Amino acid sequence: MPGAFARCALVAAAVAVTGACSSFLNGDNLQNDPNNPTSAGLDNLFISAETNVTVQLTGQYARTICIWMQQCTGLVPPFNTISIYSVGEDDYYVVWAALYGGAGLIDLRSVQTRALASGDSIYAGQAAVLEAMLITLGADIWGDIPYTQAANAKYPDPAPDSQKFVYDSLNTKLANAIVLLGTTPSGNNVGASSVDLVYAGDPALWTALAYTLRARIFLHLAKKLGPAAYDSAYANAQNGIQPGGDYTSINSSAPTSANLWSQFTSIYAGNMAAGAYMVSYMADSSASPDPRLPQYFTPNSSNQFEGGAPGQTNGDFSGFASARVDPAFLQPLVTASENLLIQAEAALMKTSPNSGAAAQALNAEQDLAGVPHTAATLHNVMLEKYIALFQNVEVFNDWKRTNLPNLTPAAGGVIPRRLVYPLSERNANTSITGPGPARNWNDPP
Amino acid sequence: MTFLRRSSLTAVASVILLAPALAAQEPTTPSPRDVILVTGRVVTLDGQAPLSYAQVGIAELKAGGQTREDGRYSFTVPASAANGQVVTLTARAIGFKAKSVQVVLSPGLPPQDFVLESNPLQLGEVVITGAGTTSEAQKIGNVRSHVDSSAIQASNEPNVVQTLSAKAPNVTVTSSAGDPGASSSILIRGANTLGRPSDPLIVVDGTPIDNSTTTVAFLDPQTGGPQGGVSSPNRAVDINPADIESVEILKGAAAGAIYGARAGQGVVLITTKKGRPGTTRFSLTSSVSFDNVTKFPALQRQFGQGDDGVSDPCATDPTPDCYATPDTWGPQLEAGVKTYDHTNELYQTGHFWDNVLNISGGNEKTSFFLSGGYFTQDGTVLGPHDYLHRATVRLKAEHAVADNLRIGGNVMYAQTEQDAVQKGFNYASIPWTSWLTPPEFNNNPYLDPATGVHRSYRFPDPSVGSIPDSTRGYDNPYFSAYTSQSTTLNDRVLGNMTIQWTALSWLNFSEALGVDYANDQRVQGEAQGNSQTFLPGGQVLTLNLTHTQFDNNLIATGTYTVNPNWGGSVSVGQNINSRSFQQLGEVGDVLLASTPYSLNNTATQRPPTSYQSYVHDIGYFAQATFDLWDALFLKAGLRYDGFSTFSPSHQYYAFPSASAAWQFSKTFNLEDSWLSFGKARLAYGEVGTEPGPYVSSKVFQANGQIPDAYGGLFLTASQGGVGGLFTPVTEPAEGLGPERTKELEGGIDLGFLKDRISFSATFYNRNSSDVILPIPVAASTGYQLQVANAAEIRNRGGEFTLTVRPIVSKDLAWDVTLLGGYNNNDVLSLRGADFVPYGGNGGFLISYAQLGGSVGSFRDFDYVRCGRGVVLTDGSGNPYNVDQHCTSSQISQKALFISDGTLTNASGVGANPGFPLLDPTQYVVGSPDPKWTGSFSTSLRYKRWNFSLLLDHRSGGLVWNGTHETLNFFGTSAESAKRGTTVTFGQNFMSGAVAGPGAGDAVVLDQNWFQNYYGGISPHSIGFPFYEDGTFTKLREIAVGYVLDERWVTHNLGLSSIEVRLAGRNLYTWSNYSGADPEVNSPGAETGARGIDFFTNPQTRSVVITFTFNR
């Protein structure tokens, strides 16, 4: 640096003419950021995206849903205010932005384009499934969301697509992904292997995940479209995730990789506890308490399992079981249990209901969970799913569709059914002007 | 020998003006026969005291001399040059008006004595105007703000930025907190930038220096920014204020234009002291201070820990390792229960000791100034981690190699070490943890007597085994004060070399090559068993920051005279500047043994993080002056700047300026009238602000974090050994140029009754366009921000200075100065947005640049009020238009809308009958900017006594009392003791108009009200009631001094004098503000946000005793 400085000073002193020192203003470390690379490999982008999926599905939104669905309760602000449904207009902006930004849509689209260009169809298929998982979350929360015009330099104000269009597009994307994942591995067509920390790149596992995600999306359409949607859900779930093939979060004991529930309970100790509805249901659901109770929660100081009701901030409540808040615990995100319970629900609700198939699927799931078989009523299926999918945001979609479990809101409150478009997005995107409706298209009263 | 004495920079002009005098300085040894001896004495008018260092000379003969300490001078003129002609003999001295007499030059000339009048307006004196240029004071076409060394010394502040407080109108200095070394920021004529630092460029003896503020907290996932962490220093703290001779503040664009694209926020020119020919002088100054906190927030002592009136079982009957509630909403404490005052238990009387030794002297050719200083301050928080130590050494020397060539060197070394306690929102914060402690909980001892491990009110019964894996919820504040470390150890070398070469009698070259290098090593240590991090096993964070700046300024100045009525100068110069910054941070988790805080002593270390940046600038500048009839002074300038941070396609921008000063008192020959001086001035200038580096670079984020939507939680994008990269949130900038501030300034300077009264008024209109800011873009585009030239801001205001010197005599002198300024800040455009978050205010998302409002406007949530068009839902689910249920006067008063229990707001949330409803929409609260600021200062000298006083006033401007809001939430504030009382809104609670179906109903205030409906700590809590008027008047300085120069001092002690001074600093504050001190800014100088009071260590007041020994 002193060298360039001195050269330029001398030159400039001799001829004080503009331009004599243009090199002084245009070096490598001057124009190009010396801190960050200008290119990224597919693996670099893929691991970021997989991390992003973990963060969005196990972070603040998951905590909120856990509280609203009364699996958990908030004791200390702002979590006690979440318990009484007070939500700021920008509280979930980070989740919104994560759908589209780095490690989200903008990078996943680039991975797919580049992978296809280099002949790596499997990689493109895997990235497409991650994209579908993220964008489904967006459509579930906000309904009509930008998708076609999103993350595209041509559109500074991306217009929302209808929720139906987004779900349909994602179903198509997943169908295409299944085709891509089914191509024969060879040469360049290898996909993400070791960088995929969940499935180690196994195309069969990714294919099963894609089917379960399709089944999920059809369920999300079912309240609006009726039995036909259940038919499709049922059909797709047949090829869905098998036991041992769960898609989980990616966490480890390293502090920068710790399970977010673990990070949360360490930093904000005592801010959340067990929810009263879930604890009492699990404790009372059969002659003996549900064996998952101590897997989810710890006993309180009186060695009892006790949860807090919404709005209740003072009490001797159960915390989260140490295994669930272990830094290395892998949160189940899309599981064989869910796939079975999708089958059970769809079998009951499809055009030609099949209670036998429903019972078979429900009992298979109960075997997995180690709980006694129960009759395959919609109530039993949904309540089993409510317990099996502890801390999973899908519980909120199930409740909006089926009103199961039948929760009593906090006194004087109404459980929200949709988050408003984040204030920051409304402030910057002329195509989204208001907070949006109270309910999404797929969730009519 | 030069004729005038000033800094190295002003010497340029001196040499130009007096070039003929220099040419005659051949060292001859004249004999009495061939010389004429010119002798005499120079004394002052007011005191009839001898004036040393006065210059007496005959310009046309290029001859002159300097007075000694007794005021006598003598010099010789070759007899051959004297033929009985009449010559002009002139005496000049800094601070006095020059006086000339006509003498007939012949042998036997009688002694020529001069009585000089003081020159409060500094007419005829040379003033530095930046980048190597100078001007005589009366020729300057813009307002001048000058602060001299005595005013700087009198402030008793260790931070040179803070010494400027209340010294010039519209130069607002804000101290962020009371911690030793806490940053102070300067805002000149309002905020005119958004995304860039709002502090001015600081130039020391012609070389720009770094004055950045960096908080260590960003490394810490818990505190994550300036809202937590510690109060870090601004780097100008490395300069010893005792080394400063004077400060010129270039406020307007016309004055700053010579610095082009770096002068957008103004320029502060600091000139350090220099040696003078004559006896070597020694001066030792020793000060000691006694500091304490001025005021604390009020806390309640009636109610105990718990919720809903019920004690927490863990607090009352603790089982080992249980967590108790953070709330103090328990039952009323029974009589006899001992309570503790948690407001001030962590605070003590602080001290500083300041010792400065100056040695200066020299001869006609060489002068030197040598200083050494050691400042050590022990702050007002208990424990060993609240201090500032600074050791400084400076040598400034000048030497005349030849009559037309002077070289100078000025080198400063400083080591500054600060250790600061945690503040703000983090679980080790001293104010947070002490003020939240329930009154009945005794924080002493902080180690459990039985187990010897850390106990706190939320974790009252710790077991020995709890250390590695149990946070304490919140630290015990004593534990934090005694164990938590956050040190910055900064080594800094700052200096330059200067060359003044008078090539021809009319042509002068001036060169300054400067370097500023600082290496700042930071260590933050969190002890085993701490609550701040999510690692109760402890953590060590280290951060190494290196700033380097090279600056070369070369200027050639030629003078010309067309005819006696038209002369002037032309300057042409070049400036090259190179700045680099490197940072390396490392974090070690889980301490192996309890001490030391060393990475070596940690179980695991995270991957290091690094950052570096490089910026190069090159500027060319030219300036021409036209002095007409010795009364009209015109100046035109142009700076042409190229910056590496501008878009490569267009890297050069021009910044013009022009000014006119008309000394009409001269034109109309008013000097002997009651109006002894009159000048009208008009100036226009353009200055810029450069973008930050690399905002145009398209890159992928390396080692980035994927954040959770709730604070402090994240995963790194790299997982399982696979490196993660992703598109950053900031879109690469396109076609970025400088912010441009155009300012028109006009004013008048008047002197009355031989300058006994002087008055100055200035008005300006300052328009900043292309303001650089990270403008929010729709996140659905894949980005969230883009740095762009996107806003337009206007500042308009006026400034007034009135100085009266009623008594000027030998034994008694009295002067009074009044300063006043007002500024109106308007955001005119934000590229389509209504508001944008301002200045990265670190977690408090309440400061915004508001279209139609001001920069730094607060936005927050309020209750439903009349006049805002709010639509509620009634009990039957039908829309309920609030304004239809308000009278017109309620609408105009924005009456609070009180519910009857059936109405719900847009979020479906209702309110109990008699309570107001919450409005889920954010509204503009107002601005932290004062309506006007002013100060009153006076000094009185009677014989050897002197007395001075400075009052500082700020009128208006909101302060967010976030401390009060939060203490209300947790139930420890004095106001929270109103729980259980029955009140009626608008009558005996929350004064103001009320409307609505529940208006007038009496209600009982309970925990639910305080936590969820009145303030709170979630991002969408009702903040409106907690904005307060920040008007204050402060007794900034008061001092009385006595100078001993009696015979026993001069003869027995061998000293020339001893000065004894007793001073008070911030002794009293008059304010209606309910919190600790309205002068506060928790985020510090780093962020630009203002008016935020959130769990900072409160401001202090001091009594300072100073002894100065002169020889």
Between vectors from CA A384 to CA A381 and to CA A386, what angle results, nearest 5°?
110
Q: Is the pLDDT of residue B16 over 60?
A: no
Dump the DSSP string for B731-777. EPP-S---EEEEEEEEEEEEEETTTTEEEEEEEEEEEEEEEEEEEE-
Which residues in chain A are closer than 8 Å to B580, comparing Cβ atoms?
A: 1
Which of B73-87, B636-650, B794-808: highest mean pLDDT? Answer: B794-808
The pLDDT value given to residue B784: 93
Which residues in chain A are closer than 8 Å to B700, comparing Cβ atoms?
A: 36-40, 44, 102
How many alpha carbons lie under 13 Å from residue B958 in its C-beta half-sphere? 23
Provide the shortest C-alpha distance from residue B319 to chain A (in Å). 8
Confidence of residue B319 (pLDDT cuts 50, 70, 90): confident
Test mutation, A256, A262, A425, chain B, max B CBs within 10 A: A256
Which residues in chain A are closer than 8 Å to B716, comparing Cβ atoms?
A: 51, 256-257
Strands B701-702 and B725-726: antiparallel
Q: Using CA atoms, how far apart are residues B181 and B385, in angstroms rounded to an integer?
A: 12
CB A365 within 8 A of CB A341: yes
In this predicted model, what pLDDT tens digit does every residue of B913-957 receive, in sequence order? 999 998 888 899 999 999 999 999 999 999 899 999 999 999 999
Q: Which residue from B308, B652, B701 is facing A314, i.e. has the nearest CB?
A: B308
The pLDDT value given to residue B80: 78
* Residue in A with minimal Cα distance to B832: A428
Contact B1020 A89 (CB under 8 A): yes
Contact A267 B534 (CB under 8 A): yes
In this predicted model, what pLDDT tens digit does every residue of B1012-1041 receive, in sequence order? 888 877 767 889 999 999 999 999 999 999
Confidence of residue B65 (pLDDT cuts 50, 70, 90): confident
Contact B1020 A86 (CB under 8 A): yes
* Residue in A with minimal Cα distance to B777: A428
CB B230 within 8 A of CB B421: yes
Q: Helix, strand, or coil here: B647? A: coil
Domain contains A108:
yes
The pLDDT value given to residue A163: 98
Confidence of residue B222 (pLDDT cuts 50, 70, 90): very low
The pLDDT value given to residue B31: 52
In this predicted model, what pLDDT tens digit does every residue of B560-592 receive, in sequence order? 999 989 999 999 999 999 999 999 989 898 999
Contact A151 B922 (CB under 8 A): no
Contact A428 B777 (CB under 8 A): yes
Q: Is the pLDDT of residue B216 over 80?
A: no
Chain B 872-911, residues with CB within 8 Å of chain A CB atoms: 906-910
The pLDDT value given to residue A32: 87
Return the CATH number at A396: 1.25.40.390
Pull the structure tokens for residue B846.
């309440």
Q: Using CA atoms, how far apart are residues B17 and B64, in angstroms rounded to an integer?
A: 14
Contact B717 A51 (CB under 8 A): yes
Q: What is the ipTM of this complex?
A: 0.95
Q: Is the pLDDT of residue B8 over 50?
A: no
Contact B552 A1 (CB under 8 A): no
Contact A91 B709 (CB under 8 A): yes
Answer positive or negative: Cα dihedral of B1039, B1040, B1045, B1049. Answer: negative
Contact A93 B779 (CB under 8 A): yes
Domain contains A58:
yes
Mean pLDDT score across all residues of chain B:
89
- If residue B952 lies in a helix (H) or strand (E), which one and from where to where? strand B945-955
Pull the structure tokens for residue A174.
């997943």
Contact A54 B715 (CB under 8 A): yes
Domain contains A385:
yes
Answer positive or negative: Cα dihedral of A194, A196, A197, A199. Answer: negative
Alpha helices in B623-749 (DSSP H): 664-667
A266: containing domain: 2-271+293-298+306-428
* Residue found by looking up tokens 């101290």 in the block: B175
Structural domains counted in chain A: 1
* Residue in A with minimal Cα distance to B1011: A77
Contact A35 B835 (CB under 8 A): no
Q: Is the pLDDT of residue B332 over 60?
A: yes
Q: Is the pLDDT of residue B6 over 50?
A: no
Mean pLDDT of the B387-396 span: 97
Report which DSSP code applies to B406.
E
Chains A and B form CB pairs within 8 A to the count of 350
* Residue in B with minimal Cα distance to A268: B473
Which residues in chain B are closer than 8 Å to A84, comparing Cβ atoms?
A: 909, 1012
Chain B 506-545, residues with CB within 8 Å of chain A CB atoms: 534-535
Q: Using CA atoms, how far apart are residues B677 and B665, in angstroms rounded to an integer?
A: 5
Mean pLDDT of the B336-341 span: 94
Q: Which residues of chain A have a pLDDT value below 70? A: 1-22, 285-287
Confidence of residue B533 (pLDDT cuts 50, 70, 90): low
Mean pLDDT of the B1070-1090 span: 84
Domain contains A442:
no
Domain contains A409:
yes
Q: Edge-to-edge, what's the strand order for the sheet holding B145-148?
A: B145-148, B244-250, B267-272, B201-204, B207-209
Q: Helix, strand, or coil here: A257? A: helix
Domain contains A276:
no
Domain contains A412:
yes
Domain contains A443:
no
In this predicted model, what pLDDT tens digit does every residue of B894-912 receive, in sequence order? 999 999 988 988 777 788 8
Q: Which residue from A251, A256, A427 is facing B776, i.e. has the nearest CB?
A: A427
Which residues in chain A are closer than 8 Å to B696, comparing Cβ atoms?
A: 31
Which residues in chain B are closer than 8 Å to A34, comparing Cβ atoms?
A: 612-614
How many alpha carbons lie under 13 Å from residue B940 in its C-beta half-sphere? 7
Strand partners, B347: B381
How distant is the alpha carbon of residue B241 from its chain centre?
A: 14
Which residues in chain B are closer than 8 Å to A266, comparing Cβ atoms?
A: 471, 534-535
